[in-house]
Amino acid sequence: MATIEEALELERLERDIFRGASLKTQLPRTFGGQVAGQALVSAVRTVDPKFQVHSLHGYFLRPGNPTEPTVYEVDRIRDGRSFCTRRVTGIQDGQAIFTMSASFHIGDEGPEHQDLMPQVPPPDDLPDAENAMSPERLWAMREWEHWDIRPIPNDQVTRRDGLGSQQQVWFRYRHPLPDDPLFHVCTLAYMSDMTLLGSSKVTHQDEPTQNASLDHAMWFLRPFRADDWLLYDQNSPSAGFGRALTGGRIFTQRGELVAAVVQEGLVRTLRTV
């Protein structure tokens, strides 16, 4: 399957118009993380390099067709001294399939604090998914064969009182990536859509559901590398009426909180007729 470099590659058609190629895939619709990652790359290419992306807010409007390229139109909403704002619309067949607002910050000094990382088994103590999954599950995960994804067993998840549903996952890109920090941010935007909605299914594993991402928000808090181990500490505070709210905190192995994610998704009972 495609590498992350191929997944995030864009062709510039005009000053603020880009096109992402269709990629080899076994999915029936375009992976949401690919659309979000490409949209963010489009925004990054219209901003002065002295600015770093610190947040994004996106809506998945229609399923993407994975056999067709997606065109991204960027609106330069604001260029300030400390902040820049961009709005990106992903389009297929003349219809918007995704829209995103992204904010960039030049970086300032201020007070610092962060949550502590949960105490969890280190990734090297967990089996590589390639060696631990059933053949059926391994086939399904071929889409992300360049990622090392190691879920923490349910009985080893660090539990916090009062949370509705939790799961924790270690992940990293298997191959060395370019040193450009913005490339790692866009890579994480791509990967952040993977596994998160599954945190809402932990307590409903036997219930067949139709699942899809509806909206997605991220905040980038500290520098990181996506080819180093990252812990995705996920929870789902609420599910009902065919939707589930999920959230995640992403830590480095050193315990640095580098990103936060919130997503709502479609999680409705699977219709048999």
Give dist(CA 122, CA 253) in Å, integer: 8
Where do the H-state alpha helices sit in the chain? 4-7, 32-44, 129-132, 135-140, 181-191
Q: Do 121-273 and 1-107 fall under one CATH topology? A: yes
Contact 7, 64 (CB under 8 A): no
Q: Is residue 115 within 8 Å of 257, Cβ to Cβ?
A: yes
C-alpha to C-alpha distance for 140 and 82, rounded to whole angstroms: 44
Q: What is the pTM of this model?
A: 0.93
1-107 maps to CATH 3.10.129.10: yes
- Active-site residues: which are they? 193, 213, 263
CA dihedral 97, 90, 96, 77 (to 10 degrees): 130
Per-residue pLDDT tens digits of the chain, which is 273 residues long: 789 999 999 999 999 999 998 888 888 899 999 999 999 999 999 999 999 999 999 999 999 999 999 999 999 999 999 999 999 999 999 999 999 999 999 988 999 999 999 999 999 999 887 666 666 566 567 778 899 999 999 899 988 888 889 999 999 999 999 999 999 999 999 999 988 999 998 888 878 899 999 999 999 999 999 999 999 999 999 999 999 999 999 999 999 999 999 999 999 988 776
| Strand order across the 70-79 sheet | 10-14, 17-20, 70-79, 83-92, 95-105, 52-60, 209-220, 257-269, 243-252, 230-240, 166-173, 147-151
Q: Which CATH architecture has domain 121-273?
A: Roll (3.10)
What is the rounded CA–CA span in Å between residue 224 and residue 255? 11
Q: Where are the domains of the chain?
A: 1-107, 121-273
CA gyration radius, the chain: 18
